[in-house]
Structure 1
Amino acid sequence: MILHCVFLRLKASLPAADKQSIFEDLAKLQAIIPGIVSIKTGPNVSPEGLSGGFRDGFAVTFEDAAARDAYLAHPDHMAVGDRIVSACDGGLAGLLVFDLEV
């Protein structure tokens, strides 16, 4: 399985309703794109203070790397991804992607 972790520095001016809408649209991808085991979204709750300003994020668990790769190219993922990039402080500089094999 692949754990696809995405950490976000969302714009401070982003309304809470817009952030919620993005996370809801992410969650909907599980019913649309085959191979997604789970999608979890939410704020960083670490007490360590080492987040580098990445205050929100999500993690998608995939059955395998092929499912992850299909997700990356899927038009519905790309549409949500565009919304995420535009909501991040500095665009692409406001997100960090890290995949783990689990």
Structure 2
Amino acid sequence: MIRHIVLIRFRTDVTEPQIAALFAELEEIRTKISGVLAITSGRSESPEKIERGYLHGFVVDFDSWAALEAYQTHPDHKALGAKLVAHAQGGLDGILVFDLPVNE
């Protein structure tokens, strides 16, 4: 399994309803790409409070690298990615992506 982790530092003028709408678009992509096992998104609730401004994020679990690649090249992902970049503080600099192979 591949765990795709995305952390986002949204601009201060982006509202929680706008963020929820972006995450809803992510859920819609799930139905269009095979190999997506799970999607979890939301705001950090870390008691450590060391998010460094990356207060929102999501995790997508894929069954293979091929499924992750299909997701990355899918037009709906590209459109959502552009919206995330547009809403992130500093554009692409406000987004962190980490792909982790997970042994089950």
SS at match of 1:13: coil
Structure 1 residue 51: Cα displacement: 1.2
Task: Give the corresponding residue for 1:27.
Answer: 27
Task: Give the corresponding residue for 2:73.
Answer: 73
Distance in 2 between the 1:16 and 1:61 partners?
A: 24
Map Cα deviations across residues 6-49 of structure 1 (whole Å, 9 max, x no partner): 00000110122211110000011110111111111001111112
Structure 1: runs of 5+ lacking an equivalent? none
TM-score (norm. length: structure 1): 0.96
Map Cα deviations across residues 53-82 of structure 1 (whole Å, 9 max, x no partner): 100000000001110011101101001111
How many residue pairs are counted as aligned between the two chains?
102
Distance in 2 between the 1:52 and 1:16 partners?
A: 18
Distance in 1 between the 2:24 and 2:77 partners?
A: 12
TM-score (norm. length: structure 2): 0.94
Q: 1:47-86 alignment to 2 at 5 Å? A: 47-86=47-86
- Percent same amino acid among aligned pairs? 39
Distance in 2 between the 1:91 and 1:47 partners?
A: 27
Aligned CA-pair RMSD? 0.8
Distance in 1 between the 2:66 and 2:48 partners?
A: 34
| Matched residue type, 2:37 | V
